[in-house]
Amino acid sequence: MSSELIDSSEASPEMIQRCGYVAIVGRPNVGKSTLLNHILGQKLSITSRKPQTTRHQVLGIKTTDDVQVIYVDTPGLHKRNEKALNRYMNRAASSAIKDVDLVVFVVEPNKWTDEDELVLTRVQNVSCPVVLAVNKVDTVDDKSTLLPFMQSVSEKYSFDEIVPLSALNSHNLETLEEQIHTRLPKSIHFFPEDQITNRSERFLAAEIVREKIMRQLGDELPYQVTVEIEEFRAEGRVTHIGAVILVERAGQKGIIIGQKGDRLRKIGTDARLDMERLFDCKIMLNLWVKVKGGWSDDERALRSLGYDDI
């Protein structure tokens, strides 16, 4: 059916794609968010543009070569909630983690609290593999104490693997990722490879600006406006976005800028507020309007296919 599929399998017959959902669980403060952020290598904000087709809330997707790992949130699972525990005990499994393909259970070294025990009771009944991540090993001076600790936790549950690591220092994360990768089901990837890249963020940013222009100008602008994102740069807590609005004639430029720049300012403010909500961070947005003389045949062809945003 798909020649692409045949081509790629011929090109590398040994290539087996894997894909699956992974939940990172653990009591508060063990370093789950730190771990996720360091695995993903960037502060994650965008997940799927499409409505979720599963009940999972996607936190981040990481695609490396043949493996796509979809990290999901399991609301309630890692929070202390006795009632939830009771509910859970009555049922065979918690629906929140029932559907995932792997659970990463995060604990701190040389420490096993009631809350860890509580998380364990929830993890115990899942049918998927459970990998125990002993985080914050950088805080342990005498590393020889780690072995007896790992021994004692392995007696609590037969974890598929126990990986000591430091999320904060990105130490041994590759080992954890390897353990995850080899345990995910063979499957085609559910999301495009670039789902969580700047490209899709850029695309969304351009779409937002274009939407604001259309909303502001409505009938006054019965022609195509192209928005190009020239800058998309995270600097500390602020993401700097520079967008160029391309119009076809000088008169259209004036319309978009408006009286004393009022219109462009309003477009910018509205777009920035939407972006801050969507990207969950502070945004510095710079907008320019430029006149682009005519379209090349290639561009016209692309636009006719709907690729006029970027």
Binding footprint of ligand GDP on the chain (CB under 6 A):
26, 28-34, 135-136, 138-139, 166-168
Least distance in angstroms from the C-beta of 249 to Mg ion: 51
Residue at shortest CB range from ligand GDP: 31
- What SS3 state is found at 82? helix
* Residue placing its CB nearer to Mg ion in the complex, 45 or 200: 45
Least distance in angstroms from the C-beta of 21 to ligand GDP: 19
Separation between Cα atoms, residue 41 and residue 37, nearest integer Å: 6
State phi, psi for 32 to the nearest 5 degrees: -65, -45
The residue among 163, 154, 191, 161 whose CA lies nearest residue 17 is: 191
Query: Helix H segments across 22-172?
Result: 32-40, 82-90, 95-98, 114-123, 146-156
29 is an interface residue for Mg ion by CB under 5 A: no
The residue among 58, 92, 66, 37 whose CA lies nearest residue 184 is: 66
Which pairing describes strands 238-247 and 282-291: parallel, antiparallel, or unpaired? parallel
* Residue placing its CB nearer to ligand GDP in the complex, 23 or 206: 23
Residues in the chain: 310
* Residue placing its CB nearer to ligand GDP in the complex, 33 or 52: 33
Binding mask 174-193 for Mg ion (x = CB under 5 A): --------------------
State phi, psi for 197 to the nearest 5 degrees: -115, 175
* Residue placing its CB nearer to ligand GDP in the complex, 119 or 229: 119
57 is an interface residue for Mg ion by CB under 5 A: no
Let me know: does 24 contact 32? Beta carbons within 8 Å: yes
Cα separations (Å) of 288 from 184, 220, 297, 310?
Answer: 46, 19, 25, 15
Least distance in angstroms from the C-beta of 270 to ligand GDP: 33
Contacts of 208 (CB under 8 A, 6+ apart): 271, 274, 275, 278
Contacts of 307 (CB under 8 A, 6+ apart): none
Least distance in angstroms from the C-beta of 168 to ligand GDP: 3
Q: Which stretch binds Mg ion (CB under 5 A): 25-33, 100-108, 146-154, 268-276?
A: 25-33
Of 8, 33, 139, 151, which lies in the binding site for Mg ion, with binding defined by CB under 5 A? 33
* Residue placing its CB nearer to ligand GDP in the complex, 138 or 194: 138
Given Mg ion, ligand GDP, none, residue 29, with its beta carbon under 5 to 8 Å by kind, binds ligand GDP
* Residue placing its CB nearer to Mg ion in the complex, 33 or 113: 33
Least distance in angstroms from the C-beta of 38 to Mg ion: 13
Least distance in angstroms from the C-beta of 32 to Mg ion: 5
Q: Which residues bind Mg ion (CB under 5 A)?
A: 32-33
